[in-house]
């Protein structure tokens, strides 16, 4: 049961069953009330005819008093029932602007990418003050970042307003580049800090250790790149209010044998 996408439905059914063991008169309507879900919605969810609304998921697992392992499996099965990687389509016309080395040396620090991505936030009005406030950096640093982006022609000024000059950005793949390496190091350091700074419900850190055939390495990298594109396609829709950083780490733990 733990391996199926119906795990969360099973836990909801089990929760009702336990309540009814204690009180045979306990109804589905009472169960929905106690979980904070509309009765008709809960009925459909438990029949498998619709998924549990994501907005209700966190409060439901808390009210079910699930232990950590079952809580994780509950949410994972719910999310898998709603979002399947193969169902997300990458727009063939979504060409990303590839930065050359001269660009990247100038904007390798994380703030530059963050500022460019802030333009995708609904209602964002670009100014040094607003950037400093949203990213938690100094006003001087915000202005330096804006100046760098103007110098690289990734931003332009039109009638006193900052405008982006390109769409989404990308860098080279599998090419040694000192600025890119330093950027990755900075990303890793930021991730370490976010473990302490950001509430667990607002972040996701995970790792897995697997034995693999090196002949499949290229295929594995291709899947990771496709996943990044599909993640972008998934998150592009909806009301955009925050800027997130996605970092995927995939590296050997063993010394390569000759």
Does 1 fall in a domain?
no
Do 129 and 28 lie in one domain? The reply is no
103: burial class by Cβ within 10 Å (0-12, 13-18, 19+)?
A: buried
Does 178 fall in a domain?
yes
Percent of the chain at pLDDT > 90 equals 28
Averaged pLDDT for residues 215-223: 82
* Total number of domains constituting the chain: 2
Percent of the chain at pLDDT > 70 equals 81
Range of the domain at 78: 7-82
Averaged pLDDT for residues 1-17: 78
**Listed ranges 53-57, 166-170, 182-186; the one with the highest mean pLDDT:** 53-57
Q: pLDDT category, 153, cuts 50, 70, 90?
A: confident
* Mean pLDDT, all residues of the chain: 82
Do 29 and 52 lie in one domain? The reply is yes
Whether 174 shows a pLDDT value over 70: the answer reads: no
Do 105 and 130 lie in one domain? The reply is yes
Q: Give 79-97 pLDDT, tens digit per residue.
A: 777 766 666 676 655 555 5
Angle at which helices 128-135 and 110-118 cross, to 10°: 110
Long-range residue pairs from 32-38, CB within 8 A, at least 24 positions apart, any chain: 34/63, 35/59, 35/60, 35/63, 35/64, 36/60, 36/63
Task: Determine the pLDDT at residue 3.
Answer: 47
């Amino acid at each position: 049961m733990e391996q199926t996408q119906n795990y969360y439905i099973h836990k909801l059914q089990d929760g009702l069953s336990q309540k009814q063991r204690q009180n045979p008169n306990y109804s589905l309507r009472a169960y929905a009330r106690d979980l904070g879900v509309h009765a008709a919605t809960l009925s459909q969810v438990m029949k498998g005819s619709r998924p549990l609304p994501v907005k209700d998921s966190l409060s439901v697992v808390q009210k079910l008093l699930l232990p950590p392992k079952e809580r994780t499996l509950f949410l994972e099965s719910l999310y898998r029932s709603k979002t399947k990687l193969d169902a997300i389509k990458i727009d063939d016309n979504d060409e990303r602007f590839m930065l050359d080395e001269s660009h990247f040396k100038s904007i390798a620090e994380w703030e530059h990418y963050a500022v460019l991505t802030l333009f995708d936030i609904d209602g964002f009005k670009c100014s040094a003050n607003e950037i400093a406030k949203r990213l938690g950096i100094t006003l001087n640093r915000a202005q330096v970042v804006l100046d760098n982006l103007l110098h690289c022609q990734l931003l332009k000024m039109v009638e006193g307003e900052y405008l982006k000059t390109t769409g989404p950005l990308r860098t080279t793949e599998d090419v040694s580049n000192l600025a890119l390496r330093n950027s990755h190091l900075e990303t890793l350091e930021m991730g370490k800090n976010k473990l302490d700074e950001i509430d667990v419900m607002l972040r996701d850190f995970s790792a897995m250790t697997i034995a693999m055939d090196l002949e499949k390495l290229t295929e594995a990298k291709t899947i990771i790149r496709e996943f990044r594109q599909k993640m972008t396609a998934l998150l592009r829709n909806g009301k955009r209010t925050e800027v997130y950083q996605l970092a995927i780490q995939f590296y050997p733990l063993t010394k390569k044998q000759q």
